[in-house]
Structure 1
Amino acid sequence: MHDIRAIRENPAAFDAALARRGDAAVSAELLKLDEARRAKILAAETAQAEQNKAAKAIGAAKAKGDEAEFERLRAEVSAKKAQVAEMQAEAKELDAQLTDMLARIANLPAEDVPDGADETENVEVNRWGEPRAFGFPPREHYEIASVARAMDFETAAKTSGSRFVNLSKGVARIHRALAQFMLDTHVDKNGLTETATPVLVRDEAMYGTDKLPKFGDDSYQTTNGWWLIPTSEVPLTYSVAGEILDAADLPIRLTAHTVCFRSEAGSAGKDTAGMLRQHQFEKVEMVSITHPDESDAEQKRMLRCAEGILEALGIPYRTVVLCTGDMGFGARRTFDIEAWLPGQNAYREISSVSTTGDFQARRMNARFRPRGGKPDYVHTLNGSGLAVGRCLIAVLENGQNEDGTVTLPEVLAPYLGGKLTLGTDGALV
């Protein structure tokens, strides 16, 4: 959510920042609506003052026995009361229109975000690991013999439709092991607090984390009104909604492993093979609530937490900063981490680490109190640490062998009973 006061102070800068995203100028429309709202509020306050003045004069007229004046003033108070109520209702409606319009405008990019129209203009900032040289043509994850025995799309389609998968045998256990490894790393090494969150949330939580009103079609809503979370960013971030936190308690660093749901609206025909793009998936999320002065440093810290998971697993990756035209709606800066998938001969996104500044905090009224100062809005950040299914794909494709088996990373041994090979029958050996 944007601060209308800041837009009033420098509308040209606001429109220029939106133009960097490729969005149209809206400050003139916003300010026209804001001016009408403020004028209506002032008119209501003026009429209220006149009503109060007439109400006080009624007593004096009655004391004097001036019946005509008494009746005139009574009629005036009644008329002013109706007028005030009408003006207040109009002001409330204008305020709702302004709030709705502000809620649909994307966050402004940070000054250091590179300009660009789409993903082709993202800028690589880091690369780790050398892609393995295979002595055979590497396969995509679902084509590897051992994986195909334990990754069942047909049964999932029978029960749920397309973009779902049943995992079994060793693949299911590797998937579970990856999530546990990520959580343990974030808690024991990275200092995040593990949280078990609901996966059903109310409108307010989706709105506060900028998923509503603009992107309702991207998520699933139950018949009784709850939303299935697209990521645990929603319940984790919204946990501080309406709070005034003590500055000494910042930063708050949280992590959660949840099932997530996305409708994948607009992705028809894209990544339909395999489990790269699913309606239901699992993710280990990271969320930080910080002091505004610390949010940029916190984003870099979170980025290293996510990168460290891939390094421990031995998965080559590259990190890019998204250009203005490729950033998500609520982000002011985003880094994407892309894991190397030899089956596709390409780097594919496995994590996004974003700072929203005070964009979400304003929507959910989350503030902190500096020592001796007035409450101010916190900054919120979120990042995948990592997407479990995509990490599973990366582990399987990078560890595949010519005979159809898969050699697994050493760090998973404690979670797999020491078994680090996925056999051709889909079981761990």
Structure 2
Amino acid sequence: MSSGNVVIVGAGHAGVQVAASLRDEGFQGPIRLLSGEADLPYQRPPLSKAYLKGETGAEGLLLRAGAFYAAKDIDLRLGTTALAIDREARELVLAGGERLGYDHLVLATGTRARPFDVPGRALAGVLTLYTLGDAARLKTEVEAATAIVVVGAGFIGLELTAAAVAAGKSVTVIELGARPLGRAVSSEISTFYHGAHDRSGARLLFGAGVAALEGTDGRVEAVVLADGTRVPADLVLVGIGVLAEDRLAHAAGLPCDNGIMVDEFLLTADPAISAIGDCAAFPSPHVGTRLRLESVQNAVDQARCVARRLAGHPEPYVALPWFWSDQGPHKLQIAGLSHGCDRWTMRGDPAEGAFTVFGFRGDSLAVVETVNRPADHMVARKLISAGIRLTPEEAADPAVDLKALLKARSAGGPA
């Protein structure tokens, strides 16, 4: 469709990008962009890093300046909640009863915090980080805190840990799994970050479950572990992951399984509805199975893919996933996906704080994880995207110039 009425639910990276890209593609029809929050659309990744450390303010988080939406004739509706989808009438039911018609609906609803259902969860000083409002409260609380407990050693938990340690706070990390970032990275990367956080002064406890939170006068004062250990805390930061925000789609009868199920064009079972970003479970050509990814790259690239389709230029979504995480002085960058990797090799020395880990699926390079080696990351994205052959031996050999190899094999010549 090159015209018609597009309604977008969710104004994070995915929602804002699809609106902007529709205009870039020459789409002339009405675009309505709905956000459940009162703030102008903003970036979430810096909330646990630059914003918490005071390196940027709320203005610096904006995805687009406020004037952008009017200039592009995008009807941005802040503080607007969608309650239901009437698929037969092609209408979105909003809080307050308004019904908003659509020719095409894009669900960019993102995620919601995973429930942390333990006794004492409602005590003051127990916080999660999801919205800008959460981050503002967290920043104030961290400044006043003495003993901080972070529950969860995933990306958010460790980014919060690094920021709190940098602020001079005593931090204990509690993780149910056996290692940090256990579901996301290789054991080599886990080992490095375990050591890095240890050396920074954080205390990390693995294989530890939270049984309860205790407090006095309504304020948290300790975390009680499953084995009875009591960890003092005047602030608890919960970073145990998120769930796909697929409740609106599920209630409308759209198939959902760890996200809103879409095809290779990011269409749901209803041809008038697309789903993109963190909420979408899509078939990945890189691993041959359905995935849901939580990354800015995935959100933005899927938004562009849908915008092209709606503007009359359909193509399947095949973009290579990539990710990053800033934890203290150590920047982790990941190109590709580690699903099914059966061989790993490394170049560089973790003891020097800069190295690269290569993961292979059979004979094919599938993922490259780098710490403080951005040049390797950029080359890796091109190698994997182009399907260029790289052997484990070449990957491990520092004498092999990856950039030269990329150039030679891209041209079909000898490496």
Q: Under TM normalisation by the shorter chain, which class is it?
A: under 0.3
Higher relative contact order (CA 8 A, sep 6+): 1
What's the TM-score, normalizing by structure 2? 0.21
TM-score under structure 1 normalisation? 0.20
Larger radius of gyration: 1
Which structure features the higher share of strand residues?
2
